[in-house]
């Protein structure tokens, strides 16, 4: 007899935060389909999808609908969305290798962190209380700080996409021109770049920490 107290597979798929995740995927698919036809609509849809990322987490905790599937869906959606935007920016700006390198760092560090977390028996890749890096602990331990860094990254990438007028823009020239164009752009870019830099540093720490965890796991098995 099935245990009625346990949720069924279908009911987990239909959790409210997971439904929000499906909506984000559809929204992003449409947004990227029209990104070069309507830059402003694309930016609006992309940012709304990003806001939904915070909502699904809130609903998961509020409705007691936290699930491993939901956490993975959330991360995969985030990573693919950012990756697609970085690929587009790599085609618009020169040198494009900058954005492709950021893509590799983002996906590589998060994949390693997720894998190493489950390898050592943690239930979440955000459980970094045992890390020796204060910045790493602060990032995953303080939602507001993490939110600032994540929002900064997405805002910076959207701004760069909106500011690009040609398909072979020079990244430095666009940033300098925008910063000298108005105080609004200067302040927005400054806040965004600071948060972006912190997040890239966290990604590097995350990759190193996760790599160390994988190596230490192998060493412990051989003893």
Please identify every residue annotated as catalytic. Answer: 78
- Which residue do the tokens 């020239």 mark? 173
Q: How many residues does the chain have?
A: 223
User: Quick one: how far is CA 150 from the chain centroid?
Assistant: 7
DSSP letters spanning 146-157: HHHHHHHHHHHH
The answer to whether the CB of 46 falls within 8 A of the CB of 7 is no
117: left (phi over 0), alpha (psi -120 to 50) or beta: alpha
Tokens of 40: 């402003």
């Amino acid at each position: 007899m099935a245990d009625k107290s346990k949720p069924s597979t279908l009911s987990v798929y239909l959790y409210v935060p997971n439904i929000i995740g499906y909506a984000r995927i559809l929204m992003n698919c449409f947004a990227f389909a029209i990104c070069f036809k309507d830059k402003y609509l694309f930016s609006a849809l992309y940012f709304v999808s990003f806001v939904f990322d915070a909502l699904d987490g809130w609903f998961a905790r509020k409705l007691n609908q936290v699930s491993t599937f939901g956490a993975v869906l959330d991360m995969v959606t985030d990573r693919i969305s950012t990756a697609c935007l970085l690929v587009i920016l790599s085609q618009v700006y020169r040198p494009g290798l900058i954005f492709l390198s950021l893509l590799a760092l983002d996906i590589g560090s998060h994949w390693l962190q997720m894998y190493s977390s489950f390898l050592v028996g943690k239930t979440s890749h955000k459980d970094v209380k045992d890390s020796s890096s204060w910045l790493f602990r602060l990032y995953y331990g303080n939602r507001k700080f993490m939110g600032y860094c994540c929002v900064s990254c997405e805002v910076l990438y959207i701004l760069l996409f909106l500011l690009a007028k040609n398909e072979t823009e020079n990244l430095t020239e666009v940033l300098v021109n925008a910063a000298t164009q108005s105080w609004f752009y200067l302040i927005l870019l400054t806040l965004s770049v600071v948060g972006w830099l912190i997040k890239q540093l966290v990604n590097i720490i995350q990759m190193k920490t996760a790599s160390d965890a994988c190596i230490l796991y192998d060493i412990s098995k051989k003893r």
